[in-house]
Amino acid sequence: MTDLSIQLINLFASFLLLLAFAMLAQRRVVNLVQIYAMQGLTVVAATSVVAYVTHQNQLYYSAAMTLVLKVFLIPWILRRLIKRLDIRWDVETLINIPSMMLIGIVLVIFSFNLALPIASLSTSISPGTLGIALACVLLSFMMMITRSKALPQVIGFLSMENALVFAATSATSGMPMVVELGIALDVLVGVFILGVFMFQIREQFESLDISHLENLKEE
């Protein structure tokens, strides 16, 4: 059963990495939200498998919290923002998509080499997923710095948090429940604050392009 569990965790890790690349290649904001929800569902499945193998009941609560927050609630909030702001179509990128894919492959290779000595010290059921989780973090960060609109950058930040939670679950068998509750609350509050921030940008500049912020000067 342990071998099957390791294979499942590795499968979920590979799917999470595939979704990270899908985010880089995606130009529609609506689809970015759907991919984010799929990432959350992948984290839920991986957490449930780790909870079953390690017999840590708190991980089941963590999986349930992730399901409610990252598969249903936050995507619903993001869809409401998209509808209110009317930005569901194309997303501008600062680098063309083929170049981003090539850079992403380099980041994956770098992540695996960086995480290899750390993974060898891990005693979890699937320490090899640490490299994939690190790659997903770097890919999400690249998505944040290559998008010119505010909402895709927010989704990139949320995707990075998904990768960190996956790393904590698969490589270290989970975080204390109090820490996970704190992170979940911070993420939820952050989404609300960023939503208000995006409305303010839209009201002031009639656009969500953050390059307009560079034009602000102190009087």
- Summary count for the chain: helices (H), strands (E): 8, 0
pLDDT band at 217 (very low <50, low <70, confident <90, very high): very low
| pLDDT beyond 90 at 37 | yes
Segment 86-90 mean pLDDT = 63
What is the spatial distance between Cα 67 and Cα 218, in angstroms, rounded to a whole number? Answer: 44
What is the spatial distance between Cα 43 and Cα 49, in angstroms, rounded to a whole number? Answer: 10
pLDDT band at 181 (very low <50, low <70, confident <90, very high): low
C-alpha separations of 65 from 11, 68, 105, 213 in Å: 22, 5, 32, 35
Output 165 or 176, whichever has higher pLDDT.
165
124-167 confidence digits (pLDDT tens)? 656 678 888 889 999 998 988 888 777 788 888 889 888 888 88
Q: Which runs of E-coded beta strand occur in 4-159?
A: none
Please tell me whether the overall predicted TM-score, pTM, comes out greater than 0.85 for this model. no
pLDDT band at 218 (very low <50, low <70, confident <90, very high): very low
